[in-house]
Amino acid sequence: MASLKRIADATFDYEDAHYVIFGVPFDYTSSFRRGSSRGPIEVRRAYDNLESFDVNYEVDFSELPICDIGDIQVNEDASETVDLVEEVTSIITRDGKIPIMIGGEHSITGGSIRNFKDASMVIIDAHSDFRDSYMGNKHNHACVTHRALDVLGEGRIFSFGTRSTSREEFEDPDYHKVRFVSADEIRKEGIDRSLSKIEGKLRDKVYFSIDMDGIDPSFAPGVGTPEPFGLNDVDVRYLIRTLARKIYGFDVLEFTPDFDNGNTSMLAAKLIQDFIGSRETKKQFF
146 is in an annotated binding site: no
| Sign of the dihedral defined by the CA atoms of residues 196, 200, 205, 209, in that order | negative
| DSSP letter assigned to residue 108 | G
Q: Is 176 annotated as a binding residue?
A: no
3-state helix, strand, coil in the chain (%, to 5): 40, 20, 40
Tell me how crowded residue 194 is: count the other CB atoms within 10 A of its CB.
22
pLDDT in tens, 139-148: 877 889 999 9
- If you average pLDDT over every residue of the chain, what do you get? 93
What is the per-residue DSSP string for 70-85?
EEPP--S-HHHHHHHH
Domain locations in the chain as residue ranges: 14-280
106 annotated to bind ligand: yes
Instruction: Return d(Cα 102, Cα 94) in angstroms, integer.
Output: 20
pTM for this entry: 0.95
125 is in an annotated binding site: yes
Of all residues in the chain, what percent carry a pLDDT higher than 90?
Answer: 82
CB 66, CB 214: distance < 8 Å: no
Using a 10 angstrom Cβ sphere, with 0-12 exposed, 13-18 middle and 19 or more buried, the burial of residue 117 is exposed
In eight-state DSSP terms, residue 256 is -
- DSSP class of residue 255 equals B
Counting Cα atoms < 13 Å in the Cβ hemisphere of 165 gives 21
Average pLDDT rounded to a whole number, residues 47-61: 96
Q: What is the CATH number of domain 14-280?
A: 3.40.800.10
| pLDDT tens sequence across 195-246 | 999 999 999 999 999 999 999 999 999 998 999 999 999 999 999 999 999 9
Spatial contact of 104 and 36, defined as CB atoms under 8 Å apart: yes
β-strand partners of 60: 53
Alpha helices by DSSP H, 95-143: 109-112
